[in-house]
Chains A and B, each alone.
Chain A
């Protein structure tokens, strides 16, 4: 189990290691040319929604002293005179703080779109199954087959694999929903003007928080005993172990959030940087070199795009898998008469699963 995950991580870190020097170089080069391409701006959240036909400005909502102020766009907010534009975004004209910024942003729209697509896809499939297509007969059509592959993959390879069988049933909807939502959000970033909502730390942190809550709610007595009163160790060691265990609880969702965020963000930055090389080469060696090498850069970008499609599904899988692992660990009923014994069993189990 653990080895499986570490293998996946190894592949990803390998990819990052191979590709990251390029991106650092590219980012530096772009900035030295006066920042004509704002790389981070492309990955950041915006107050407008980019479409193929132009920008749609999104409403700004602020909570100030318990009152909600609503402006249909940033311009309207500025026009009201209550806010001024600064480097850090909008601040109040009178210099006081904003309690809560509930503005609709582009990433939020992509979260909604991702959720909506996941929901529509699932609802569509549900209506097919309700009609008896797929329940009485075999599933018909490519789309329903793809849905079933995804669903059965999440159910059999993730949920049944890592969560105790007698408890697995109630976690299927949660993990499948998370998988679908993340996969959809990831793939929306493949649109030329689109963005992955999962390339935003806020989104991944919130998703990780939900997993964290679900994990702790499904924690058994054993789970909590292992955190606060580790069995089979002397009292003094417990004083050291308990903080470590609590830290362990918190690092799990942290790892989930950072992993998804970093992977999705890096893909986007990579593509912008590699396409940016065309303009860097034009500036450095003249238009003919820029145009000549562009074939290579565009080809590389296409390859990266293919990789991003794969990574979009892979990261959704990894997030779901790790969520299942964490939930499974918390929900497991240990039978430890001798704790070291069960550790050995676990080790041999992972070796067995690795051998498969």
Chain B
């Protein structure tokens, strides 16, 4: 067996070579070869883990938002219904109000009209009385020119005038 040892022998010189080689090998692996790989894989794993966590968080948030949206929507619906009801009620009130006002106005107009008519009537009566009085005076003057002194006539005139004023 030229060189090296037998099957089960331990060759010190060879072992020294192997030890030196292994130490250099391990040193290069430790210092240069493996750190970038370890870092890259750790980074990648951290990245993936963080991404998953972020996605989960985003999903939870979206769920919450959608739940919120639903609540808001329901609230808005309720509010809309309320507003509609209010509007109907307002309209009812307004209508009643308007009707009441119109009624009052009409009544007032009616009253006014009546008052005016009354006044016109009074005025007309007054005018009529005046006219009648004038006429009566004129007539009486004419009669008087005939028989002024007649007591009976005087009495007649007075009665006539009284009757007029009563009417």
Residues of A within 8 A of B (CB): 40-41, 43-48, 58, 60-61, 63, 74, 85, 88-90, 100-108, 111-112, 115, 118-119, 122-123, 125-126, 129-130, 134-136, 148, 151-152, 155, 172-174, 176-177, 181, 200-203, 205-207, 209-210, 265
Contact = CB atoms under 8 A, between A and B. Distances in A.
Given A115-B25, A126-B36, A152-B41, A205 B4 contact: no
B5 to A, nearest CB: 6
B96 interface: no
A174 B30 CA distance: 7
Interface residues of B, number: 39
A173 B14 contact: no
B8 interface: yes
Contact of B37 (A45, A118, A125, A174): A125
Most chain A CB atoms below 10 A, which of B40, B41, B43: B40
Nearest to B26: A177
B38 interface: yes
B143 interface: no
Contact of A74 (B2, B29, B30): B2
B13 A151 contact: no
6 contacts: A90-B2, A108-B17, A126-B34, A130-B40, A176-B29, A203-B14
When A and B form their complex, which 10 residue pairs have the shortest distance between CB atoms, in order from nearest? A45-B4, A47-B3, A135-B40, A129-B40, A101-B13, A177-B29, A122-B33, A206-B18, A105-B4, A102-B13
B3 A119 contact: no
Most chain B CB atoms below 10 A, which of A58, A85, A125: A125
A155 B17 CA distance: 29
Contacts of B12: 100-101
Contact of B6 (A44, A58, A111): A44
Contact of A111 (B21, B28, B41): B21
B21 A112 contact: yes
B1 A45 contact: yes
A202 B15 contact: yes
Contact of A100 (B13, B18, B33, B37): B13
Main secondary structure of the interface of A (DSSP, over half): helix
Interface in B24-61: 25-26, 28-30, 32-41, 43-44
A206 B15 contact: yes
Given A103-B3, A130-B40, A123 B13 contact: no
A135 B44 contact: yes
Contact of A85 (B2, B5, B28, B37): B2
B62 to A, nearest CB: 27
A203 B33 CA distance: 23
B19 interface: yes
B9 interface: yes
Contacts of A111: 17-18, 21
Given A122-B37, A129-B36, A151-B37, A207 B10 contact: no
A61 B14 CA distance: 11
Given A44-B4, A174-B26, A209-B19, 11 more contacts: A44-B5, A89-B2, A101-B11, A102-B17, A111-B17, A118-B29, A135-B39, A151-B37, A173-B29, A173-B35, A202-B9
A173 B40 CA distance: 14
Given A101-B13, A134-B40, A202 B5 contact: yes
A134 B10 contact: no
B37 A210 contact: no
Given A111-B21, A202-B11, A126 B4 contact: no
Most chain A CB atoms below 10 A, which of B25, B32, B33, B43: B33
B22 interface: yes
B37 A126 contact: yes
Nearest to B29: A177
A272 to B, nearest CB: 13
Contacts of B40: 129-130, 134-135
B7 interface: yes
A201 B10 contact: yes
